[in-house]
Amino acid sequence: MNNTPKPKQPLVTHIYTADPSAHIFEGRIYIYPSHDREHDGPDNDNGDQYLMEDYHVLSLDNFDSPVVDHGVALHLRDIPWASKQLWAPDAAYKNDTYYLYFPARDQENNFRIGVATASSPAGPFVPQKHYMEGSFSIDPAVFIDEDDRAYMYFGGLWGGQLEKWQTDTFLPDAEGPAEDEPALGPRVSLLSDDMLSLASEAKEITIVDEDGNPILAGDEDRRFFEGPWMHKYNGKYYLSYSTGSTHKLVYAVGDNPMGPFTFKGTILTPVIGWTTHHSIVQFADKWYLFYHDCSLSNGVNHKRCVKYAELTYKEDGTIQTIDPYK
């Protein structure tokens, strides 16, 4: 099914989509979103409303061409270790293979991260039998640097369970830091050469302010909540993420892909719906932000739609803040 996109309008309207990871593969724009389901279940901070069961892959030749829905690329029933909730995915290409990274709850109801492979960027993807050993929480994002080293960023608070993994062991009653303590950061691991396993233990990323002080847990306008994304611009590493409760997309900049990162500002102001989730990609000579909101469903949190907007850098390398409704 095809739709012709317009800036800041839903890319597709025949299904509900969210959490878009955009990549340029084979000269074409591919978007890997999660796929929201319609249901009447509970809506809570644990994320029980997000009952996604499969992934569709979207693609387009350029921003003036129709969007193609390539259909189901991976389904929950085909993942031996997973029990429910296929949340925000990402994709990567290496070794003549396309990789799809995804979170799901395991048989013990804990979020883990799995990986599936395909010969085409549109899939279908075949999952590994087990989740990635040492993985936990949600929102994997894979970045391959110019030296061909691959990194996986991940983590999310509340329903994403990151607070439960502060000791690298799942503690079901663990809580996050106090408001005057440093906020929890996303995690990063090196990936193995075959892209199927973690080559290093997960490291917590440090995010600091311009004076070098850690961003505090109570600083909800700047602290990490979920949805880490990494891209590189003019030799600098840009870590962007969602603030969750204040509904912003923000970013920090560093000289090393594993941090530390210095907070710089806001990329996207709040959208319709509880929060947003994004990716940043260069296509031709321009940069684009992909994100979602709930405008297609008039604000229903689990009925979201993917959108995009052009992203602009200032001369000093900072990003021009985007208003999603202007």
Calpha distance 187→152 (Å, rounded): 8
| Contact of 35 with 52, CB cutoff 8 Å | yes
**Structure-block tokens of residue 32:** 């890997």
Q: Say if residue 41 is exposed, middle or buried (CB neighbours under 10 Å; 0-12, 13-18, 19+).
A: exposed
SS3 assignment for 11-43: CCCCCEEEEEEEEEECCEEEEEEEEECCCCCCC
* Alpha-carbon Rg for the chain in angstroms: 18
Q: How far is CA 6 from CA 10, 30, 160, in A?
A: 8, 16, 32
Do β-strands 187-190 and 111-118 pair in parallel, antiparallel, or remain unpaired?
unpaired
Which amino acid, 7?
P
Which amino acid, 145?
D
Beta bridge partners of 58: 31, 69
Beta strands (DSSP E) in 108-225 are 111-118, 126-127, 141-144, 150-154, 187-190, 203-204, 207-208
Calpha distance 322→217 (Å, rounded): 25
Catalytic site includes residue 179: no
Catalytic site includes residue 204: no
- Say which of 19, 36, 139, 293 is annotated catalytic: 19
- Say which of 163, 226, 255, 310 is annotated catalytic: 226
Site of tokens 């193995």: 192
Calpha distance 148→114 (Å, rounded): 21
Residue 266: CB atoms within 10 Å: 17
**Structure-block tokens of residue 200:** 């290093």
DSSP state of 108: T
Catalytic residues: 19, 226
